[in-house]
Amino acid sequence: MAQHREEKTELKTFSEEQSSLWLIALGPTIWALHFIACYAATAVVCAKLDRLAEDGWLLRAMIGTATAVALALIAWTGWRSWRQWDFLDDRDHVHHRPVTEHRHEFLGHASFLLACLSFVGVLYVALPAVFVTGCV
């Protein structure tokens, strides 16, 4: 019985640790999925649906939709991490103390910055669709 409880605590701690670490990776992961979606859509449409690709609107619509979804998700991640950072309470952005609060806010801060970077990254990756039409 004691064994069993120990095992459960282990798993619980692990999953809490994991979710906090995952938040850091969430923004860039959304960026990566958006990137793969754009790349795969172009590859498949250009290779298999050449006729539909000619005027370029199909691809633009697909990339536009993916971009909107990705930006919304990253914005949500950013909002969550901004809350976790909780900058406005003490204006702290150094997080160098050995306390749980600093660890917690540090992870929020790093996740927030990564969400910002991912936001810019998604915008960059969507930019080609503005300038290039079709599968030339």
Partner 1 sequence: MTDTTDHRGRNPGGRNEPRDAAEAHGDAYPPTDAMLDAPVDPDFAKASADRLRAAWKTPTGWRYLSAVNNSEVGAWYSLTAFFFMLCAGVLALLIRVQLAVPENDFLPADTFNQFFTMHGSAMMFLFAVPMFEAISILLLPAFLGARDMPFPRLSAYGYWCFLIGGVFVLGSVLFGVGPSSGWFMYPPLATKSEGMGADIWLLGLSFIEVASIAAAVELIVGALKCRPPGMRINLMPLYAWYVLVVGGMILFAFPPLIAGDFLFELERSFDWPFFDPERGGDPMLWQHLFWIFGHPEVYIIFLPSIAIAAMVIPTAAQRPIFGYSWIVLSAVGTGFLSFGLWAHHMFTTGLPALSLGFFSAASEAVVIPTGVQIFAFLATLMVGRVTWSVPMLYIAGSLAIFTAGGLTGVMLALAPMDWQVHDTYFIVAHLHYTIFGGMVFPVMAGVYYFYPFFTKKQMSPRLGRWAFWLAFAGFNVTFMPMHFAGLMGMPRRVYTYPGDIGWDLPNLISTVGAFVVAAGFLVFAWDLIRPKGRQPYTARNPWGGGTLEWSHDVPDQAWGVRSIPYIESRYPLWDQPKIVERMDAGRYYLPDAEEGKRETLVTTVLDAVPVQCLRVGGPTWITHLAAAFTGGAFIFPTFHWYPPAIVCGVLAVACVIWWLWTGTARPPEKTHKEIGLGLTVPIYVSGPAAPGWWGMWITMLADATAFASLIFGFFYFWTASADFPPDGAAHAASGWVWAGAAALTVSWALTRYARRANRAAQVGIARASLATAAALTALGAGAMLWSAHSAGLDPTSHVYPATVWAILVWTAVHVSAGCIMQLYCLAGSLFGKLTPEYDADLWNVSLYWNFMAATVLVSAAVVDLLPGMI
Partner 2 sequence: MRVRLRIRAGVASACALSLGGCTGVQSVLDPAGADAEVLATLFWVLLSGAVVLWLLLNGAFFYVTRMRVRPHSRKIGEAVIIGAGIAFPTVLLAILLSYGLSIMPDQRAPGDGLTVRVTGEQWWWRVEYLPQDGGGPVVSANELRLPVGARTEIKLTAAKVIHSFWVPNLGGKMDMFPGRETRMALEPTRTGVFRGQCAEFCGTSHALMAFPVVVLPPEEFEAWLAKEREDAAAPADAAAERGREVFLAEGCGACHAVRGTPAKGAVGPDLTHVGGRRTIGAGTLPATAEGFGQWLARTDHIKPDVRMPTYRALPEQDLIDLATYLKGLR
Q: Which residues bind partner 1 (CB under 8 A)?
A: 3-4, 7, 9-11, 13-14, 16-17, 20-21, 24-25, 28-29, 31-32, 35, 38-39, 42-44, 46-48, 59, 90, 93-104, 106-107, 109-110, 113-114, 117-118, 120-121, 124-129, 131-132, 134-136
Give the whole-angstrom CA distance, residue 74 versus residue 51: 34
Nearer to partner 2, 20 or 110 (CB): 110
First to last CA, the chain: 66
* Locus of tokens 């960026």: 31
Closest CA to 84 of 108, 119, 51: 108
Tokens of 88: 């406005």
Asked if 120 is part of the footprint of partner 2 (rule: CB under 8 A), the reply reads yes
Residues that bind partner 2 (CB under 8 A): 120, 123-124, 127-128, 130-133, 136
